[in-house]
Structure 1
Amino acid sequence: MRTRIKFCGFTDAGDLRDAAALGIDAAGFVFYAKSPRHLDTDAAAALRRVLPSWVSAVGLFVNAEPAEVRRIASHVGLDVIQFHGDESPERCLASVPDGLAWWRAVRMRSAGVLLESFDRFGQAEALLLDSFSHGYGGSGTGFDWSWIPAVRPLPVVLSGGLTPDNVADAIAAVRPSAVDVSSGIQSDDPRRKALARMERFVAEVLRADAKLCQTSTR
């Protein structure tokens, strides 16, 4: 099975069209006011209309009120909710409109944190694994991939410091269901994406998958 690709932090329609043309599987919109890539709901809804039907729209939230998450999800047309704060399982479930998938971000301080999260968030579609930081949202730094067990009760979306230079190694080491990147493909402006970096990131994911496929058929 190929590794799915999520690019996060879109604010520009041209960047989003370029990414969709490269074959990404999911595009992330940030609804956290302290992020430089924060969007209001109308801007996010306009970007959502740019996406083809085969690219999922993922909304990133940090400790937002459940009613606000539901309102934004409906207004924008989100396909997946990504919780990136301190939300409990109960708060996550209360925030998600019926039938919508949700992911819970795990800030990786140790292997034990992940094992505990597998137990606590068993109703999530997936866990998104990011490096630990004292703030919220993506950190842009990596963590020890050896903390991730080979056998997992939930799919994992690998995040945290991924770039075109290391994503192939990350896939070989972890074999995640998906990879997630934001700062690793941004331009000098943190609100914009660099097309060359997006192209190379996708190419490296495809190369890693092809290498794994060759290994499994030997």
Structure 2
Amino acid sequence: MSDAVHVKICGLTDPDNVQAAVAAGARYVGFVFFPKSPRNVTFAQARALALCVPEGVAKVALTVDADDDMLHALTQEVPLDMLQLHGHETPARVTALRQRFGLPVMKAVGVAGPEDLAALDAYGKVADQLLVDAKPSADAMLPGGNGLSFDWRLIAGRRWACPWMLAGGLDAENVAAAIRLTGARQVDVSSGVEIAPGKKDAARINAFISAAQSATNTFPV
């Protein structure tokens, strides 16, 4: 991976903000397929958005405990580069989906305390990437995109068997500090670049990517 921090803008719902993310230098764009989310898109909407994305920017589908039929329909209709699993999928499920659909799989793992780090080790052995996110509360409606962060010191300088991405409560004001503290080379943002739930803002996207890419990482790559 290059020295530049790679940024993923997740939960995109309209072409203007897809273009804003791409123009600002995002390396990943994410589309949410979870009806409870204010960022949820249909397959048809996602296909139209994905066709706006140039080569070299990865198109990521966020799903939550999706079954094979849903994933088959999704991957048939929407041109994708990666699946992001944000539910309770087991390591065996991650392995099975990689084999069945032939796409790289990113597995989200929620972190609240030291007891959650073992899951990162386990999923890091089977996934293509890890998304290290804040663990939602027990009564949360959404598995992610809640604007919550966690104690970044828990993962400071840690590495796993695959590349990883930091998420959870990031915005333009704190992303540089998060990168410095954790050694992250990739970061993910959704609510941190919104003016309302599900409504991204081009200026906030620009500010976030600029802050992330200008951050100084004190850990070895």
TM-score (norm 2): 0.89
Unmatched runs of 5 consecutive residues or more in structure 2? none
Aligned residue number for residue 113 of structure 2: 110
**Is 2:171 the counterpart of 1:168?**
no
CA contact (8 A) 2:107 2:123 kept: no
Aligned residue number for residue 50 of structure 1: 52
The structure 1 residue matched to 2:155, chosen from 144, 148, 151, is 148
SS at match of 1:139: coil
Matched ranges for 1:139-218 at <5 A:
139-153=146-160, 154-188=162-196, 190-208=197-215, 211-212=216-217
Unmatched runs of 5 consecutive residues or more in structure 1? none
One-letter amino acid matched to 2:92: E
TM-score (norm 1): 0.90
One-letter amino acid matched to 1:200: A
One-letter amino acid matched to 2:164: V
1:104-126 alpha-carbon deviations (Å, 9 max, x no partner): 11111212312233124411111
The structure 2 residue matched to 1:129, chosen from 124, 129, 132, is 132
Offset at 1:56?
A: 0.5
Offset at 1:2?
A: 1.5
CA contact (8 A) 1:130 1:139 kept: no
- Output the aligned Cα RMSD: 1.8
SS at match of 1:21: helix
| Greater mean deviation of Cα atoms: 103-112 or 176-185 | 103-112
Matched ranges for 1:62-73 at <5 A:
62-73=64-75
One-letter amino acid matched to 1:168: A
Q: CA distance change for structure 1 residues 121 and 70 in 2, over 3 Å: closer, same or farther?
A: farther
Structure 2: how far apart are the matches of 1:142 and 1:58?
A: 22
Structure 1: how far apart are the matches of 2:159 and 2:85?
A: 20
Offset at 1:130?
A: 1.1
CA contact (8 A) 1:85 1:137 kept: no
Q: CA distance change for structure 1 residues 43 and 36 in 2, over 3 Å: closer, same or farther?
A: same
Structure 1: how far apart are the matches of 2:194 and 2:158?
A: 32
After the TM superposition, which segments of 4 or more aligned residues of structure 1 sit over 4 Å from their partners?
Answer: none
Aligned residue-pair number: 212
Aligned residue number for residue 84 of structure 2: 82
